[in-house]
């Protein structure tokens, strides 16, 4: 994993994954299973039925942070999924990008960004935690996808 890049209100990290992009996307798009592969989430609960995609909502509980409702506002399978959570004065966006790097490998970029009138204050309060959580998520996603890719097809 390459070191992440920070700016005033955000953080981005990219890592190679020893799994095909389709497998990475399957792991990533199963949002309710995220707590099984990353310590950055205690629980993820879908708030609506049907396939997960544009407009879907999920309630996310993360250690040390208040629970938040995230809404998918960008959905381009199997490459990009972004969701946004809003609080007074700040909008937080989590973005997930998957790129194929050959038949059996891929690359993932995860980012978090805060915008709004209180974004600077909020980032000072949560930025270190957000960076740590994005690092945990990318490492967990890479391990979960690689593990799934190693399993024989049924």
Report whether pLDDT(32) > 90: yes
Cα angle 50, 99, 114 (rounded to 5 degrees) comes to 70
Integer Cα distance of 130 and 10 in angstroms: 9
Output the pLDDT for position 3. Answer: 62
The share of the chain scoring above pLDDT 90, in percent, equals 87
* Better-predicted residue by pLDDT, 8 or 29: 29
Burial class (CB in 10 A: 0-12, 13-18, 19+), 57: middle
pLDDT tens track for 85-124: 999 999 999 999 999 999 899 999 999 999 999 999 999 9
The mean per-residue pLDDT over the stretch 58-77 comes to: 97
The mean per-residue pLDDT over the stretch 2-28 comes to: 89
Contact between 41 and 61 under an 8 Å Cβ cutoff? The reply is yes
Report whether pLDDT(151) > 80: no
- Give the chain's mean pLDDT: 94
Output the pLDDT for position 6. Answer: 66
The mean per-residue pLDDT over the stretch 47-56 comes to: 96
Helix, strand and coil in the chain, % to nearest 5: 30, 40, 30
pTM above 0.85, yes or no: yes
């Amino acid at each position: 994993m390459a070191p992440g890049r920070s700016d005033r209100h955000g953080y981005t990290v990219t890592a190679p994954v020893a799994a095909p992009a389709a497998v990475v996307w399957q792991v990533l798009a199963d949002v309710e299973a995220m707590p099984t592969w990353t310590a950055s989430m205690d629980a993820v609960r879908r708030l609506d039925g049907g396939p997960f995609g544009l407009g879907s909502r999920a309630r996310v509980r993360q250690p040390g942070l208040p629970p938040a409702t995230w809404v998918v506002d960008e959905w381009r399978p199997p490459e990009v999924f972004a969701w946004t959570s809003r609080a007074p004065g700040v909008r937080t966006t989590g973005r997930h990008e998957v790129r194929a790097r050959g038949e059996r490998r891929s690359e993932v970029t995860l980012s978090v960004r805060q915008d709004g009138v209180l974004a600077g204050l909020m980032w000072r309060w949560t930025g270190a935690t957000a960076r740590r959580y994005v690092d945990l998520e990318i490492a967990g996603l890479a391990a979960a996808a690689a593990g799934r890719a190693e399993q024989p097809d049924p």
